[in-house]
Structure 1
Amino acid sequence: MTANPATTARTRPVWTDLPAAVRAGIEARIGAPVTGWTSHDGGYSQGLASTLRTDRGAVFVKAVSTEHEFTVRLYHQEAERAAVLGEGVPAPRLRWLAEVGAADGHDWVVLAFDAVEGRPPAHPWRDDELRAVLELAVEVGEHPVAAGALPEVASELPAQLTGRLAAQRPAGLGSYDPWLAEHLDRLATLELEAPAAVAGDRLVHGDLRGDNAVLVSAGPRAGAAVAVDWAYPGRGAAFCDLVGMLPAVQVEGGPTPEESLRRRPLPEGTDEDAVTAYLVALTGYFVHSSLQPPPPGIPHVRAFQRAQGEACVAWLRRRLG
């Protein structure tokens, strides 16, 4: 069986890898010693992501050294944006953000959330679990967001990378389906419509995939799913999360995007042309990113972006002919 590009070359640290001073600082903030831990190894960060067990209950903690500047910025962004998520949003509650010193001179930034009793979806996808995460994507988009509460999705959408591919024609482009290079000029024109296509007044997670979903096993949401890792939430169109996750679903052993949408259709009133424009922007992002050098500590991300890029190109080709 071919290795899943989403899980190869995993380098995430676990609780015992953290410097002793950092572990002590986290325990002090929790208010109890850690008696056990479970690492959650999915995702695309150099940081720890673990459920820590204590005599006072469990807490989910993310921690990263300040030497990873981009991830540190994401942690601060996640804390800021997660704090304003409205009541009823299917997400764990943010508890605190802290900075803990270490003896090697690098501080660690730590985020703590309520622990969710559950597990990530299995890959290849099971039908019932896929249904739960597709419903989660739609549910997130049902929450209204007041203007100014979160950034507009259009303002943060990478809606220029297809155009950049068309202008630069990088050598690696030839490793993709030739249809992409043949139609890049047309796609670059469609990409110009993407910012308007994603405009709206609904909550968008912005990075929803199987590794950012937890299937809940206890409590009021048992049998459903919640979304985690809210580093990129914004205000936009209700369809964004559902469309955005479908290339990853296919890569991780699920059905094609069209089949997923037969199982869980797009929100009522969704403009198909808007979906196409958004898909063009996603395609440009994944293809362009896959051709860049791997970032430190997460070498596997380029393979995953490559696989999603290929899925996006195939989906676009079927939509546009």
Structure 2
Amino acid sequence: MLQAVGTRIGWRDLPAEVRQRIERIIGGPVVKAVSQSGGFSPGTADRVATADGRRAFVKAVSPAINERSAELARQEVAITSALPGHIPAPRVLGSFDDGDWVVLVLEDIEGTQPRTPWEERDIDAAVTALTELAEALTPAPLTVPPVTDELVEGFAGWQRLADDPPADLDPWAAANLPALIAASERGLAALSDGDTLAHCDIRADNILVRPDGRLVIVDWPWGATAPVWFDRVLLALNITVYGGDPERVIADLDRRTVTDLFAGFAGFFRDISRLPPPPGLPSVRAFQRWQADELLPWIRREL
């Protein structure tokens, strides 16, 4: 099992004036900072605490480290700041963007990531959390692009693989490229109508399980409008990749649409895994290739 791991900076790597500005948001000097591993960003992801017990979760990145990560951080600030306070997502304590650093300060959620392979109780809790989100975020509370804008290029992955097939392409995939291309096109078309603000990046490492078993959905840079069921398909995809029972998620969804979307994402992951890794994210291509490989058994069986 692979994880996406960025080469993160930490709290002490931030310029003093940036740390001071964050401390003003939190309400006191930070005396403890614990960096969180995992994820795709090379920026900070620190649980911090002050001497009087105030806690926060600090995310900060500079365009000098990775321009795309800074763009995504700006999107996350805008989206997270617009989320209603009652939904299972972290509250924003403050943010700023001085051109050199993009900073988001969130409440620190007490919790841990779901265990993988996924356990039934966490799957059911995730479905409950995503249902709450979909109800609260339909229609979307802010203007964001449709998810098809984000996926149209990625879902052409099988076509690019057909045009320039790698020598190590899975033999079944190589023999069924027309069917995989058609499935990806159907999947993209299925996403063309929807006004729900979807998270669009539902994975175990973007979820926290509270001590009482309730789940909180974190990391919102990819938010886009999509059908109300889209995040549940992404949950089923992650369960398929990491292990668990995706049938608990998709029982009332159109199975062909789920398979078509799996095909689109598998083509995206397999195609993009051929590119060099971006700055500060040395393992992301191997992670993407692994996801594509893990999705193929489902696609081969269902398609």
TM-score by length of 2: 0.88
- State which of 281, 284, 288 in structure 1 corresponds to 2:271: 288
User: What stretches of structure 2 of length at least 5 have no aligned partner?
Assistant: none
Q: Distance in 2 between matches of 1:242 and 1:17?
A: 37
Whether 2:177 is the aligned partner of 1:200: answer no
Compute the displacement of 1:134 (Å). 4.2
RMSD across aligned positions (CA): 2.3
- State which of 78, 93, 96 in structure 2 corresponds to 1:95: 93
Contact 1:84 1:149 in 2 (8 A): no
Q: How many residues align?
A: 297
Q: 1:49 to 1:144 in 2, by over 3 A?
A: closer
Compute the displacement of 1:251 (Å). 4.0
Q: Distance in 2 between matches of 1:79 and 1:53?
A: 21
TM-score by length of 1: 0.83
Which residue of structure 1 lines up, in the alignment, with residue 81 of structure 2?
83
CA deviations over 1:271-310 (Å, ceiling 9, x no partner): 3332232222111111111111111111111111111101
Q: Distance in 1 between matches of 2:215 and 2:86?
A: 13
- State which of 224, 237, 241 in structure 1 corresponds to 2:227: 237
CA deviations over 1:139-179 (Å, ceiling 9, x no partner): 4334442267432222222332222222x2232xx324211
Compute the displacement of 1:82 (Å). 1.7
User: What stretches of structure 1 of length at least 5 have no aligned partner?
Assistant: 102-106
Compute the displacement of 1:200 (Å). 2.1
3-state SS in 1 of match to 2:86: coil
Q: Percent same amino acid at aligned positions? A: 37
Q: Distance in 1 between matches of 2:120 and 2:9?
A: 31
Structure 2 letter corresponding to 1:111? L
CA deviations over 1:31-65 (Å, ceiling 9, x no partner): 31002122221211101101111226111110112
Q: Distance in 2 between matches of 1:135 and 1:313?
A: 28
Which residue of structure 2 lines up, in the alignment, with residue 18 of structure 1?
14
Contact 2:184 2:263 in 1 (8 A): yes
Compute the displacement of 1:126 (Å). 4.0
Q: 1:247 to 1:175 in 2, by over 3 A?
A: farther
- State which of 95, 115, 133 in structure 1 corresponds to 2:126: 133
Contact 2:49 2:56 in 1 (8 A): yes
Which residue of structure 2 lines up, in the alignment, with residue 278 of structure 1?
261
Q: Distance in 1 between matches of 2:241 and 2:301?
A: 17
Contact 2:25 2:94 in 1 (8 A): no
- State which of 56, 61, 81 in structure 2 corresponds to 1:59: 56
Ranges of 4+ aligned residues in structure 1 off by more than 4 Å: none
3-state SS in 2 of match to 1:63: strand
Contact 2:208 2:218 in 1 (8 A): yes
Contact 1:48 1:64 in 2 (8 A): yes
